[in-house]
Amino acid sequence: MMQEIKQDARIAPSLPVISETKMGVEELDLFYGEFQALKDVTLDFPKNEVTALIGPSGCGKSTLLKALNRMNDLVDGCRVDGLVSLDGDDIYRDVPVNDLRRRVGMVFQQPNPFPMSIYDNIAFGPRTHGIKGKAELDVIVEQSLRDAAIWDEVKDRLKKSALGLSGGQQQRLCIARALAVQPEVLLLDESTSALDPISTAKIEDLVVEFASKYTVIMVTHNMLQALRVSTKTAFFLLGEMVEAGDTDELFTHPKDSRTADYVSGRFG
Amino acid sequence: MLFTLAAAISILAVALICVFLFANGLPAMFQIGIPEFLLGTTWKPGSDMYGIFPMIVGSIYVTAGAILVGVPAGILTAIYLSRFAGSRVASVLRPGIELLAGIPSVVYGFFGLMVLVPFIRATMPGRGLSLLAASMLLGIMILPTVITVAKNALDAVPKSYYEGALALGATRERAVFRILVPAAFSGIMAAVVLGVGRAIGETMAVVMVAGNQPVMPNSIFEGVRTMTANIVMEMGYAADLHRGALIATGVVLFVFIMLISLLFSAIKKRGEER
Ligand SMILES: Nc1ncnc2c1ncn2[C@@H]1O[C@H](COP(=O)(O)OP(=O)(O)OP(=O)(O)O)[C@@H](O)[C@H]1O
Ligand SMILES: [Mg+2]
């Protein structure tokens, strides 16, 4: 459905694209102590689409991502001004933080499986949210591992430690772990940068599939990856959002010269 | 070369202590009879009766009590320092704990005698000088050991585990008790074992508050005598077989400590393998 609308929009660019906003930030300022890491950022994340955040190192991509599930709360002296919304609700006021983090899942740059069995890794989230029945957990664990395309590789060793998996497998396990709590939004922070090309390709395929079910927001340093998997891209520079829009459009006809310089590889 | 020498000195010291203990203690033990010595419940040097079972039990009870008091408090403090305390609180707590570690045990003993014992006498049955008093005091004394070792173990757990749990919507408490603590488990066990070692070897403070009757205690409000107390209280005037029996008590204590340190290295090794 979404896809059709989108294609129509491409054929007739004059028609406005009707896409529902899942998350949004408005006039967001974020400070680490005195240092302002995000400056007046306004950006929408359309529902059931993949949005890519790009920009040179230190421009605030991870910071923005962490503002979306309040992982910045862990940072001493971090202050947020402005609105961050999920389905129209202010996440800093109207959504309990643990609910928020269940609904807005996150996969980190470095795979971080817990030092426990593969099964328990996946079951941790559902257990956290009150699912205790073994049969029900079994179903969730299998489904999550299947959705993350790792079931076949681990189905015979569910009780073995997750730390024995390869880096690429660990990252897919972490994706499965995030899926197990049935999130609505998935945040991926350079989640393939520590992986080999084959694992990376597997995860890219997953992300493309996810778009039918989840709203995905991913940080990447890989321009080609952004082109391959995202429909919307936002370019950041020194804490400011320079430009955001349709991915193909932003890469082929950037409006801002700084975006043009970055995507053509002239700096960063 | 210098290092080898330094290492040799400490090994030599251990060896000498071993030789001294066993050479003087074992003959006495054999003379008394091993079962009579270890399992006998009467300690009456005047009538040549040397059963140290009440003291073995006393040491175990007092140590167990100290663990009951000190370990939960110590581990919770370590967790608090490692994950919850702001830098301001930590900057007060940390030197406080270091200070706690540096206080001489006779000062602890004084505190026990002036504060704990009267308090127990006023609020509970018995004379105050008791298993309970010794356990509480030792529980406080092992705090610095437990806190420091457990905190190091907790600090060594990658931050990404904790963040991963929070990112799934877990509360801080759940992240700590379900992810952080299990990940640091072997280190925390090592903290407990070191605490046990400290408690079982402590002498001065225990002598001052435990009452020291060489009989089996029937309740936590009665006095107990530990192996260390047995030695230190009678060594000054003991002679012949009495003296040998006290040294043999030292042998038993030494074996206990050795078992504890074996347990400690086993736990550490298991932790490293994981
Ligand atoms: N915990 C923190 N405390 C203080 N400053 C921070 C903290 N985290 C990030 N910063 C600063 O905020 C700015 C943005 O950091 P951020 O991690 O969001 O960048 P990024 O775009 O993700 O970069 P990279 O591509 O290298 O991951 C940087 O200047 C960084 O130094
Ligand atoms: Mg980053």
- pLDDT tops 60 at residue A240: yes
The full set of domains in chain B, from first to last, is: 53-273 (1.10.3720.10)
In this prediction, residues B129-146 reach a mean pLDDT of: 94
Ligand 1 pocket: which of A62, A74, A76, A109 to mutate (most atoms within 8 A of CB): A62
Per-residue confidence (pLDDT) for residue A3, from 0 to 100: 46
Residue nearest atom 12 in ligand 1 by C-alpha distance: A37
Testing the interface with A: which of B168, B174, B188, B270 to mutate, by most A Cβ within 10 A?
B168
- Helix or strand or coil: residue B158? coil
Q: Which pairing describes strands A50-54 and A215-219: parallel, antiparallel, or unpaired?
A: parallel
Residue type, A31: F
- pLDDT tops 60 at residue A7: no
Give me the residue spans of the domains in chain A: 19-263
pLDDT in tens, B188-231: 999 999 999 999 999 999 999 998 899 888 889 988 999 999 99
Tell me if A125 and B174 make a contact (CB, 8 A cut-off): no
Ligand 1 pocket: which of A61, A70, A110 to mutate (most atoms within 8 A of CB): A61
Per-residue confidence (pLDDT) for residue B274, from 0 to 100: 58
Testing the interface with B: which of A112, A129, A171, A175 to mutate, by most B Cβ within 10 A?
A112
Within 10 A of A196 (CB to CB), how many other CB atoms are there? 12
In this prediction, residues B13-19 reach a mean pLDDT of: 91
* Residues linked to residue B18 through DSSP beta bridges, in sequence order: none
Ligand 1 atom closest to the CA of A66, numbered from 1: 18
For chain B, give the percent of residues with pLDDT over 90. Answer: 73
Q: Which pairing describes strands A185-189 and A104-107: parallel, antiparallel, or unpaired?
A: parallel
Tell me if A124 and B165 make a contact (CB, 8 A cut-off): yes
- Report which of B149, B131, B142 is spatially closest to residue B101, judged by C-alpha positions: B142
* Residues linked to residue A117 through DSSP beta bridges, in sequence order: A161
Q: Given pLDDT bands bounded at 50, 70 and 90, which one contains residue A199?
A: confident
Q: Given pLDDT bands bounded at 50, 70 and 90, which one contains residue A18?
A: low
Distance of CA A77 to the CA centre of its chain: 24
In this prediction, residues B26-47 reach a mean pLDDT of: 91
pLDDT in tens, B74-111: 999 999 999 888 788 889 998 999 999 999 999 999 99
In this prediction, residues B157-179 reach a mean pLDDT of: 94
Q: Identify residues whose C-beta is under 5 A from ligand 2, the ion.
A: A 62
What token pair was written down for B2? 């210098």
**Architecture of the domain defined by A19-263:** 3-Layer(aba) Sandwich (3.40)
pLDDT in tens, A42-101: 999 999 999 999 999 999 999 999 999 999 998 888 999 999 999 999 999 999 999 999
- Report which of A231, A261, A226 is spatially closest to residue A245, judged by C-alpha positions: A231
Per-residue confidence (pLDDT) for residue A9, from 0 to 100: 44
Give the distance from residue A78's alpha carbon to the nearest chain B alpha carbon, in angstroms. Answer: 14
Residue B86 near chain A (CB below 8 Å): yes
pTM, rounded to two decimals: 0.82
Residue B10 near chain A (CB below 8 Å): no
Residue nearest atom 6 in ligand 1 by C-alpha distance: A32
Complex-level ipTM: 0.87
Q: Spell out a b/e string for A91-105, using b for 16 or more CB atoms within 10 Å of the CB, else e.
A: bbeebebbebbbbbb
- Residue B60 Cα to ligand 2 midpoint, Å, equals 54
Ligand 1 atom closest to the CA of A77, numbered from 1: 3
**Are the beta carbons of A59 and A237 closer than 8 angstroms?**
yes
- Return all residues near B240 (Cβ < 8 A) that are at least 6 apart: none
- Residue A239 Cα to ligand 1 midpoint, Å, equals 9
- Report which of A74, A53, A56 is spatially closest to residue A65, judged by C-alpha positions: A53
Which residues form ligand 1's pocket by a CB distance below 6 Å?
A 32, 35, 37, 55, 57-63, 75
- Residue B88 Cα to ligand 1 midpoint, Å, equals 24
Residue nearest atom 2 in ligand 1 by C-alpha distance: A32
- pLDDT tops 90 at residue A5: no
Distance of CA B241 to the CA centre of its chain: 29
**Are the beta carbons of B221 and B133 closer than 8 angstroms?**
no
- pLDDT tops 70 at residue A15: no
pLDDT in tens, A128-186: 999 999 999 999 999 999 999 899 999 999 999 999 999 889 999 999 999 999 999 99
Residues in chain B: 274
Per-residue confidence (pLDDT) for residue A120, from 0 to 100: 95
